[in-house]
């Protein structure tokens, strides 16, 4: 690991119990108070356990909660943009308790030592999703999810018993579910010292492919790292997206310079702040360069087109430790006959092929392929099959 970028905070955390301790923890759990996790909390347990949320060892206490919201740093000073909390109903536990954390499917996921119990200021946390209070119109999915969470937060370190809580499920992706320690080992084995990562919760279309390949030109390798944790209703299922990524890599990417792995995080839809979180997480996975596209982790019209890029300009680069790669809106130019952006193409919008998400979905539902300048045909065929079954 010595030749790779250091994890956030300097040390890669591992909160996964050793095999010889698992049975003892399971027996202990039978006599502990039970906490039933939400889907987002379950994702967070996995991310903490495998070190993707380094330097966190567990769910945040109040000092970290307040500092993250006010300053986008942990109380210890490391950049951190979004609270990672375990909110519950009142009376679930007290300081000093050991509690058993169960995933939504009823599987024992972890045991937590409760070091702190504090009020969950949901209104304060909801402010992280907006540029100004007037934006809080009651429609933002991330903010509304926070407002519905429990009024109390439990803080403390966790010991993970079951990393992937649905190992038999179609969206577990065990072969591609590499931990930060495993991606770092893969990068070292491949001889990659510089690695670019592409975050996505959608299929990769031609503009995304263009960004990935631009990043490959300046680094040793590319990690295509789709998010497969909880997303909002209406997003294309992870299983379908994975099929799209694989067929695209098989046909259009250099396999020696490309690695596909999944990130089991939940989406917050927090726009600029989430772009920072996604970059820190990739740093923990061993990535040195992180692709930040237009409206990264955005939803609706809450964020400006390049807010998620501009937020990096005010950060301490040494503290962040990973290089953001900022790309403008890209599209196929009919005159240039290739993918371009405003930096490379002199032609106006009437020369470009732009398709809205709604238009693409309408074409897919009708069994029609989007133009090849927008989507590779192999990807379109997979999406057409999904759209037909989703009717």
- Give residue 354's region: left, alpha or beta (phi > 0; psi -120 to 50): beta
310 is catalytic: no
- Give residue 154's region: left, alpha or beta (phi > 0; psi -120 to 50): beta
Q: Could you tell me if 118 and 103 are in contact, meaning their C-beta atoms sit under 8 angstroms apart?
A: no
> Regarding beta strands 338-341 and 330-333, do their DSSP bridges make them parallel or antiparallel, or are they unpaired?
antiparallel
Q: Reduce the DSSP state of residue 39 to 3 states and report it.
A: helix
Q: What is the DSSP letter of 223?
A: E
**Given 98, 202, 361, 369, the catalytic residue:** 202
Look at residues 375, 13, 388, 41 and name the one whose alpha carbon lies nearest to residue 209.
Answer: 375
How many beta carbons lie within 10 A of that of residue 170, not counting itself? 10
DSSP string, 238-261: HHHHHHHHHHHHHHHS-GGGEEE-
Q: Reduce the DSSP state of residue 34 to 3 states and report it.
A: strand
CA distance 318 to 271: 22
- Does a cis peptide bond (omega within 30 degrees of 0) precede residue 55? yes
Look at residues 138, 37, 31, 145 and name the one whose alpha carbon lies nearest to residue 82.
Answer: 145
DSSP string, 155-220: EEEEEES-SSS-TTSTT--GGG---HHHHHHHHHHHT-SSEEEEEESS---HHHHHHHHHHHHHSS
**Given 15, 177, 201, 282, the catalytic residue:** 201
> Regarding beta strands 152-160 and 58-59, do their DSSP bridges make them parallel or antiparallel, or are they unpaired?
antiparallel
319 is catalytic: no
- What residues act catalytically? 201-202
């Amino acid at each position: 690991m010595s030749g790779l970028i250091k994890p956030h905070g300097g040390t890669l955390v591992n909160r996964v119990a050793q095999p010889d301790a698992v049975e003892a923890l399971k027996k202990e759990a039978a006599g502990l108070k039970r906490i039933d996790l939400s889907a987002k909390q379950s994702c967070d347990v996995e991310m903490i356990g495998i070190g993707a949320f380094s330097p966190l060892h567990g769910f945040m206490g109040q000092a970290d909660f307040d500092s993250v919201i006010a300053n986008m740093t942990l109380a210890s000073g490391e950049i951190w943009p979004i609270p990672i909390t375990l909110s519950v109903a009142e009376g679930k536990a007290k300081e000093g308790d050991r509690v058993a954390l169960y995933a939504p499917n009823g599987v024992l996921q972890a045991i937590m030592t409760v070091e702190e119990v504090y009020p969950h200021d949901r209104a304060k946390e909801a402010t992280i999703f907006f540029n100004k209070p007037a934006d809080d119109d009651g429609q933002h999915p991330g903010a509304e999810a926070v407002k519905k969470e429990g009024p109390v937060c439990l803080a403390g370190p966790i010991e993970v018993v079951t990393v992937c809580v649905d190992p038999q499920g179609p969206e577990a992706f065990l072969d591609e579910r590499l931990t930060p320690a495993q991606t770092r080992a893969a990068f070292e084995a491949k001889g990659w010292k510089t690695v670019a990562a592409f975050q996505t919760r959608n299929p990769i279309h031609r503009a995304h492919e263009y960004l990935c390949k631009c990043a490959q030109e300046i680094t040793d390798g590319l990690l295509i790292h789709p998010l497969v944790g909880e997303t909002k209703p209406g997003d294309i299922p992870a299983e379908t997206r994975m099929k799209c990524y694989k067929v695209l890599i098989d046909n259009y990417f250099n396999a020696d310079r490309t690695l596909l792995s999944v990130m089991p995080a939940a989406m917050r839809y927090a726009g600029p702040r989430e772009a920072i979180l996604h970059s820190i997480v990739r740093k923990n996975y061993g990535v040195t360069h992180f692709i930040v596209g237009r409206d990264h982790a955005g939803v609706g019209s809450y964020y400006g087109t390049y807010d998620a890029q501009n937020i990096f300009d005010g950060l301490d680069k040494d503290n962040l430790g990973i290089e953001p790669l900022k790309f403008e809106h890209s599209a196929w130019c009919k005159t240039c006959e290739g993918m371009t952006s405003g930096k490379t193409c002199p032609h106006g919008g009437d020369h470009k092929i732009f398709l809205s998400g709604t238009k693409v979905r309408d074409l897919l539902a009708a069994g029609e392929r989007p133009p090849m300048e927008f989507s590779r045909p192999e990807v379109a065929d997979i999406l057409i099959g999904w759209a037909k079954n989703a009717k």
